[in-house]
Chains A and B, each alone.
Chain A
């Protein structure tokens, strides 16, 4: 039956392709224009995450360029809407490596509003060594302090230059909106949880040495949450936009989360525009890759951002009830 089934399976895939093509055309034609950026919405995320998905088909220079454009736009639109916190993620850590450039990119000159950027602090955890423990090694009395590998910066924009609309704006003394920007990579996810676990283990080992037994070691959710989401951690985003740099290829396959910190996405609403440039790469297959990369790569668009906010505003949260 196995070999005989293949022609039927092929036919099934052909029928499925036709159905998907038809439905995508239908969705494109029937698609509603999203509300303007500064329109009044039922709710706006306080903490927005943008997950950038890179692709090896797009060269590094084009990828970096698209990322920088996207970051600049995301910061500008977030300030305009009144989002308080913005988390920028990419799996490979490209944004983290270029955090200084990002600081320069969101500088005042390309944007109409005055923006002040505080000094970014890239914090890497002083990870306990993974080598064998030596009895002769001394431990500091405070133990190990770990913090999420993250670049933090903030941007402010004067309120009077922005149209009203955001419900959750934070206002400083001079009535300016403040946007806290965090840049993270995959290292802030599972690897950091492992780092935190090692820190906890070392801390418990020290208690053993000073006589406090750890036979009854217990770790609560609240305690782990304090480590992962506290002042040196990453707070959970309310909403996440997944933006592929190569949408034409990405939108042919299902959604993934690409190593985003798992602890923080418990209740995060997720959005991804699955209709952008869906078939464009198939029409350009004959072009050299370098030329295709310029056409097929994409930075974050305002349409995506507005549609995402509309989706978030309409989402129903039940919290288990």
Chain B
């Protein structure tokens, strides 16, 4: 239930990101870019100016005009002006989201590999499920169901639920790792 709520939250966040991209029109984020190639003995130059789309042409953007009056038209004909928009807010938010998720994952990985074994050693016997990690092996299908059923009745509170979910997830990752990395059964 909590996980589904979290999923919905992340969905909304991503939709907000999409909407953000569509709406954010920071005035700094528009420009008219005019590229003018070399002309006679003037070298080529690129001009950027913050103008609206209807003003995006050579005459408004190229300042100061490098060529004298009569040549302006010939010069401007060779220039290419493009109106461009971007959303720096979207970029900033996206990069920050990405880096925070990456950071969280790295922290969790460090926790799982280094911190948790130390904690478990200190609080030995906290959860019986740790022992069942290793020996899934060759058990009878019916007997195993009995075991788990007997064990399941004792679990009630949230902390145990989280613990149980984490144990199950670790088991799955271990199985996946065995298939992919050790036995090379899938995804070789």
Answer yes or no: do A and B interact.
Answer: no
Q: B residues engaging A (CB < 8 A)?
A: none
Q: A residues engaging B (CB < 8 A)?
A: none
